[in-house]
Structure formats: C-alpha cells, structure tokens
C-alpha cells in the first residue's frame, strides 16, 4: 500500500513536471524577449506577430508588426498559422551580435522571415523582412509598422522630411506633429522633440536594390510609423511610375536602422555612420587634404573659353596663393567645357588637354564635369548615333510608361545599356588622357528612375540600375580622380563619391545661403556618410559685405570650399576673395572637413540661424541673420553641450569684436550678415 502511494505520488510529480516543462516551452516559443544595446528590450509576441520596443524601461514602439505584398496580395504575419523563433551569433562591421529570426508559415502562402539584428554595444537595432517561395513578385516590404510614443502633447514635436535627392531646390522640412500630420520621408525619418531632444530615428541602410520610405502619422488618438521598401513619388523620388517589382524565390527588404536617442542629432549621426558600414565605399579611399577650389558654373557658365579659364588659373596661382588645402587647389570646368573641343565628343581634345597641362604648370589641379546618364539633345531626335558606339540615342533612352523620363531639361539614359556605357567609356577615357585630376558628376538621379524595363533584364528597380551605372563609371575612372557629386540621390551615392553637394545650385544672395543651410540644418549628419559635404560654388559678385561673409561661411561650415566668381576679370569680388578666402581661421576649419551641427531643429522648411562645432579646445558658433533687419539671438549653449550657467568671452573671427555669451545674453547680428564666434572651452 505504501509502495503504491509512493508510486502514485511519483507519477503525479512526474506528470506535473512534464506539464510545467511543456508550459515553459510553450511560453518560450510564444513570446520572446530580445535585448539590444545596454538597456533596450523587444518583447515579441509570436502568436499575434506583434512586438513592443522599450529603452530603459520606457515604451517607445507598441503593437509593431511586419507586412508585405506578393503579386499585389497583402500578407500579414498575424494571419499565418505557425511560427518559429531561432537565433544565431554574427560578427560584422557593427561588432559581435545576434540575428533573431521569426519564421511564419501558412499553407499556400510564402514563408515570411522577420529578422532582427542586435548588438550589445549598439543602442539601436536593425530589422528586415524576407519572403521565400516560388515565383514571388513584390514591390512593397515593410519590416516595421508600429504605434510610437514621444513627448506627448508638446507643440515642439517634429517629424523630419528628408528628400531623396538635392534636385529642383527641394527642402528638408521639420513638420509640426499636429493632429492629422502625415509625412513620408525618403530613406530615413526622425520624430523628435525640440525641447527635450528625445528622438526616434528609423531608416534604411541599404540602397542598392530599393528606394525606401519612412511614413509617420500624428494623431491625438495615437501616432504611427511605417518603415518600408518600395517608395516612389514623382515629387520626391522623381519617378513617373510605381516602384519596380523584385521577382524570384527569395525577396528581401532593405535593412532598417531603428533607435531611440536622447538627442535627435546624435541619433541621425549614428544613422549616417551605420550607412557607411552597411554599404562600404566602392570608390577608392581619399587620403589627401580636404578639397577646395573653383567651379565655372558659378559665374562664367556658358561663356567658358580657354582664355578666361586660364586667367582664372592665373588668379589662383598668383593672387590667391594662400587659398590652399594642403598643397592643392582645384579649378573645375563645369558644363560647356566641350566648347574647347572640335568635332564633338569623338573629336579633337587638344585645347582641353592644353588647359589641364596649363593648370598643372601653375600648381593647380585641373577638374572637369560630366553627366553620364542624360541626353541633353533629345529634341534633335532619336536617330542620332551615340558617340563611341553603334547605337542610336533612342536605343538608350530609359523607357517609362511607354514613353521616356524627361526632367531638368534632359532625358534619362538607361545605365545598363551597352551604348550608355560605351559613351561613358569614350568620354572618361578622353578626360583621363587630358590629365584631369577631379570630376564633378551631375544629374545622377536620371540613372535611378523606375522604368518599364531595362536593357539588362535582370535589373528590376531604379536603384539596381543606378548601382550598375555608378560602378561602371568608377571602373572607367580607375582611381584617377577626385569624384564630386552634384545633383544625386542623397543616401545611395555615399559609396560612389568623395564629395557630395548638400543642396541644389546656390550662388550669391542671402536667400541662397539660407536655402543651402536648410540642408545643413537637417542633413549635416551626412558628413559621416561622405568624405566631405559641399555647399556649392561661393559667388561674391557685387553683393554686400555681410552677404559675402555669410555665403563664404556657409561653405566653411558645410565642410569644403568651392568658389565661383569670374576671376578672369577684376572687380569687387576679386578684392573680397583675397580678404575672405585666405583667412587662416576659416581654412583651418575646412581642413577638418566635418560639418557644423545645428543648434536648433525647429525651423520647418527654413534654416536654423546657429551652427556649432568644437575643435582643439575651441567652440565655434556661426550665427546667421537671413532677414532684412538686425536681429538679436539668445544662444542656448546647453544645446551645444556647454553649461547653461557659464558666461564665455567670444571673439568674432571676421571683425575681432568681443561678445559675452551665456544664459539670457543677447547677440546682435546685422541684417543679411553673419558672425563667427570662437571661445575656449
């Protein structure tokens, strides 16, 4: 009897243990806690397919999920029958981490794999979605759709619009998160509070297949964020059709960076750095000094000739000998350099070669220009033979909606077409033979448009075509030239060039300075994606001294310094250039090559007035007044990481005037003017 009771008790204990064990197993497979960084946590409910994301115990995202399309059918992970969680260790440029995979299966549907990449040393994570099956076709994959928290009921909440490119004088916009606000930002979005600095940053770090977007909606009943691959908008990405479809047995979204930061500027800088690691540069490493110089489009434009171009070289050699970075200065011929050749692109380049040789004889580096993916003469007809090939231009035109893609007065050429590539090979080969050391490449967005089809049938999206075109261009350049991008996709161009112009064309006025600095206000973080950012050619002309200073300083705080006046003749601009462009304090800042940070981020579509940078124990504050009357600024030094209670004695680099700056103290700046304050910290 005792034995029977003991056996029954043992059996009960065994069954109980098995039951508890099965319960633990069930719980472990139905909810997963995924840690990231030092204090981040993702609580993933596998049954519902939803997740909540925390940092330091604070809920940031809630009810997050993934969705995708296959052949226009919308797939929700919540509708799938079974799920499975697995993880594996990884080691890459971000360090040692873990790849977490949640796999969803359901009869008759593609497998969905929702992948999260975490790193103990990174206070952010990456997320992506993959479809697996047979004969899949998709142009929409969203690895994260979620409600989000931020500083609630605060009028200083912003949702940042980031443009796809820098064409058509487009602007960044820090939109107010009022009830009903909707914003779709290209590649990256940031929702932040101007007072606290707290910020959500989410954005793609891969750009060789997809154009991606981050959409945010603000509402009194709840905010929503959607990070997705497959973004197309005629006013933003310039596309005249929907995003291309990826086809195959495996389709993967871009990988997205997701993080919450106590300073929106830090968050965007971390995002910029992550892009540089996720897509390492294809172009060769630049190990020389920060490039500075001159570009002909600033003033000469269509009037460029051998005579006036060589006189510009003389001015830099003789009258601006102090305007140097390291030992170099570049004199760059923009569009219309072909006026120096005879017989077209296949003709006689001897005069152009003489110009390059003359530059080198005067200690100046010669530069040139090319728009590899555009046909500017398309109105002359499609039967024209493409230089360097046996094709006609009509063969090369990118096919869009049964027609073609015309923008900025030029027609797009298919980067995958052998005729486009043969033309590039011809021109680049000639320019290398001439001896050019720098090339400005322009209208690159024409090579990234979505098309009905491409010559290379394996290419399905504009970004795949762009990758092929840019890699082919760089192979022709052969590590021979400094490469500068003008109009171009903001994020996707990072791996292909050394310098990128941060905005569209800008010349001399205070309004053009303000336009350029709108892009610096909200896009300065791209200084970590490129070797250098540039503010376009600085033109002094006959503007006021204040406007000349402001335009000059706008270049300095962006990171490089390209001038643009007609220095082949004397004028007010030559006198001012000798004074402003050779200031050693300014050139020392340019030598550092990194962009100033904005002090504030609430200027909507305008530019903030104050930018700052710390270097060698000195803090620099650039204070711009874009208005028509003098203005008083109260500088919040805490936003520059300085004690709000301290008072500093600062000197204006331009005038030498002393200023006391600190809590509650005002700094006055004249109309259409700027001061550059420096003080020890």
Give pLDDT tens digits for 320-349.
Answer: 999 999 999 999 999 999 999 999 999 999
CA 14, CA 10: separation in Å to the nearest integer?
A: 6
Q: Give me the CATH number covering residue 656.
A: 2.60.40.1180
Those residues whose C-beta lies under 8 Å from the C-beta of residue 175, and which sit 6 or more positions away, are 158, 159, 160, 161, 181, 183, 604
Residue 154 forms part of a structural domain: yes
Contacts 24+ apart (CB under 8 A), 27-34: 29/83, 29/84, 29/85, 32/85, 32/100, 32/102, 34/100, 34/116, 34/118
Residue 438 forms part of a structural domain: no
Segment 68-79 shows an average pLDDT of 94
Neighbouring C-alpha atoms within 13 Å toward the C-beta of 573: 22
Those residues whose C-beta lies under 8 Å from the C-beta of residue 24, and which sit 6 or more positions away, are none
pLDDT at 379: 98
Q: How confident is the model at residue 26 (pLDDT cuts 50, 70, 90)?
A: very low
Those residues whose C-beta lies under 8 Å from the C-beta of residue 635, and which sit 6 or more positions away, are 599, 610, 621, 623, 661, 665, 667
CA 260, CA 543: separation in Å to the nearest integer?
A: 44
pLDDT at 349: 98
Pairing of strands 292-295, 561-563: parallel
Query: What is the residue-wise DSSP string for 269-320?
Result: HHHHHHHHHHS--SSPPP-SPPPEEEEGGGTTGGG--HHHHHHHHHHHHHT-
pLDDT at 149: 84
Residue 40: which domain range?
30-278
Pairing of strands 212-217, 365-370: unpaired
pLDDT at 648: 95
Residue 133 forms part of a structural domain: yes
Residue in this structure with the two tokens 């206000």, named with its chain if needed: 521
Residue 322 forms part of a structural domain: no
pLDDT of residue 533 exceeding 50:
yes
Residue 58 forms part of a structural domain: yes
pLDDT of residue 4 exceeding 50:
no
Given 278, 311, 346, the domain boundary residue is 278
pLDDT of residue 60 exceeding 70:
yes
pLDDT at 91: 97
Angle between helical axes of 350-361 and 418-434 (0-180°, round to 10): 50
Of 3-17, 120-134, 452-466, least confident by mean pLDDT is: 3-17
pLDDT at 486: 98
Q: How confident is the model at residue 645 (pLDDT cuts 50, 70, 90)?
A: confident
pLDDT of residue 224 exceeding 50:
yes
Average confidence score pLDDT of the chain = 94
Given 212, 246, 278, the domain boundary residue is 278
Given 252, 278, 304, the domain boundary residue is 278
Residues pairing with 260 in the sheet: 200
pLDDT of residue 16 exceeding 50:
no
As for how many domains the chain has, the answer is 2
Tokens matching residue 323:
């305007």
pLDDT of residue 216 exceeding 60:
yes
pLDDT at 3: 38
CA 49, CA 102: separation in Å to the nearest integer?
A: 9
pLDDT of residue 13 exceeding 70:
no
Task: Provide, for the chain, the percentages of residues in helix, strand and coil under a 3-state DSSP scheme, each rounded to the nearest 5.
Answer: 30, 35, 40
Residue 393 forms part of a structural domain: no
Segment 554-560 shows an average pLDDT of 98
CA 46, CA 344: separation in Å to the nearest integer?
A: 64
Which secondary-structure segment (H or E) carries 159? strand 157-161
pLDDT at 30: 87
Segment 573-593 shows an average pLDDT of 97
pLDDT at 7: 43
Residue 389 forms part of a structural domain: no
Residue 395 forms part of a structural domain: no
pLDDT at 153: 58
CA 252, CA 246: separation in Å to the nearest integer?
A: 9
- The b-or-e profile of 356-376 (16+ CB within 10 A means b, else e) is bebbeebebbbbbbbbbbbbe
Segment 562-591 shows an average pLDDT of 98
Q: Give me the CATH number covering residue 216.
A: 2.70.98.10
Percent pLDDT > 70 in the chain is: 95
pLDDT of residue 14 exceeding 60:
no
pLDDT of residue 29 exceeding 70:
no
pTM: 0.94
- Burial label, 290 (beta-carbon count in 10 A; 0-12, 13-18, 19+): buried
Residue in this structure with the two tokens 């990070």, named with its chain if needed: 227
């Amino acid at each position: 009897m005792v034995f029977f009771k003991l056996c029954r008790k043992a059996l009960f204990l065994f069954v109980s243990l098995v039951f508890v064990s099965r319960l633990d197993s069930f719980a472990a497979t139905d909810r997963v806690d995924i840690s990231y960084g030092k204090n981040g946590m993702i609580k993933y409910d596998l049954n519902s397919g939803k997740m909540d994301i925390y940092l330091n115990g604070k809920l940031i995202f809630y009810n997050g999920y993934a969705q995708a399309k296959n052949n226009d059918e919308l797939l929700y992970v919540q509708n799938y029958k079974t799920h499975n969680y697995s993880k594996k260790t990884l080691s890459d440029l971000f360090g040692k981490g873990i790849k977490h995979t949640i796999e969803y299966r359901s009869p008759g549907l593609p497998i969905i794999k929702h992948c999260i990449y975490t790193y103990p040393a990174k206070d952010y994570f990456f997320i992506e979605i993959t479809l697996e099956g047979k004969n899949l076709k998709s142009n929409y994959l969203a690895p994260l759709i979620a409600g989000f928290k931020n500083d609630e009921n605060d009028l200083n909440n912003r949702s940042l619009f980031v443009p796809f490119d820098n064409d058509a004088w487009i602007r960044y916009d820090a939109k107010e998160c009022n009830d009903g606000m909707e914003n779709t930002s290209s590649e990256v979005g940031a929702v932040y509070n101007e007072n606290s600095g707290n910020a959500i940053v989410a954005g793609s770090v891969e750009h060789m297949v997809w154009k991606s977007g981050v959409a945010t909606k603000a509402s009194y009943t709840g905010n929503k964020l959607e990070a997705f691959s497959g973004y197309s908008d005629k006013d933003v990405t310039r596309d005249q059709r929907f995003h291309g479809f990826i086809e195959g047995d495996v389709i993967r979204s871009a990988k997205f960076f997701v993080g919450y930061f106590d300073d929106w500027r830090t968050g965007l800088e971390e995002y910029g750095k992550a892009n540089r690691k996720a897509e390492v540069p294809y172009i060769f490493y630049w190990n020389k000094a920060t490039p500075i110089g001159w570009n002909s489009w600033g003033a000469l434009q269509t009037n460029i000739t051998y005579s006036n171009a060589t006189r510009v070289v003389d001015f830099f050699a003789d009258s601006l000998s102090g305007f140097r970075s390291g030992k170099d200065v570049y004199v760059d011929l923009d569009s219309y350099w072909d006026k120096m050749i005879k017989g077209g692109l296949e003709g006689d380049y001897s005069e152009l070669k003489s110009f390059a040789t003359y530059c080198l004889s005067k200690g100046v580096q010669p530069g040139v220009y090319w728009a590899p993916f555009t046909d500017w003469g398309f109105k002359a007809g499609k039967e024209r033979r493409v230089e360097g090939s046996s094709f006609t231009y009509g063969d090369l035109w990118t096919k869009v909606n049964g027609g073609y893609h015309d923008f900025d007065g030029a027609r797009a050429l298919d980067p995958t077409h052998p005729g486009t590539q043969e033309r590039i090979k011809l021109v680049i080969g000639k320019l290398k033979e001439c001896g050019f050391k720098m090339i400005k490449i322009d209208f690159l967005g024409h090579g990234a448009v979505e098309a009905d089809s491409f010559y290379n049938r394996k290419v399905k999206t504009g970004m795949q075509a762009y990758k092929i075109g840019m890699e082919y261009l760089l192979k022709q350049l052969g590590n021979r030239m400094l490469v500068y991008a003008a109009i171009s996709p903001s994020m996707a161009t990072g791996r292909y060039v050394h310098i990128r112009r941060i905005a569209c064309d800008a010349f001399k006025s205070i309004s053009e300075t303000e336009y350029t600095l709108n892009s610096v206000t909200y896009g300065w973080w791209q200084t970590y994606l490129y070797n250098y950012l540039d503010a376009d050619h600085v033109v002094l002309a006959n503007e006021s001294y204040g406007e000349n200073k402001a335009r000059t300083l706008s270049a300095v705080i962006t990171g490089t310094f390209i001038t643009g006046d007609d220095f082949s003749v004397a004028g007010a601009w030559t006198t001012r250039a000798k004074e402003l462009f050779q200031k050693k304090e300014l050139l020392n800042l340019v030598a550092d090559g990194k962009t100033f940070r904005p002090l504030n981020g609430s200027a909507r579509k305008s530019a903030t007035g104050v930018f700052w940078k710390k270097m060698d124990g000195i803090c620099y504050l650039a204070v711009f007044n874009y208005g028509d009357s003098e203005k008083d600024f109260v500088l919040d030094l805490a936003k520059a990481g300085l004690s709000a209670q301290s008072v500093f004695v600062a000197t204006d680099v331009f005038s030498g005037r002393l200023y006391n700056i600190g809590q509650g103290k005002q700094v006055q700046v004249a109309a259409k003017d700027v001061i550059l304050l420096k003080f020890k910290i």
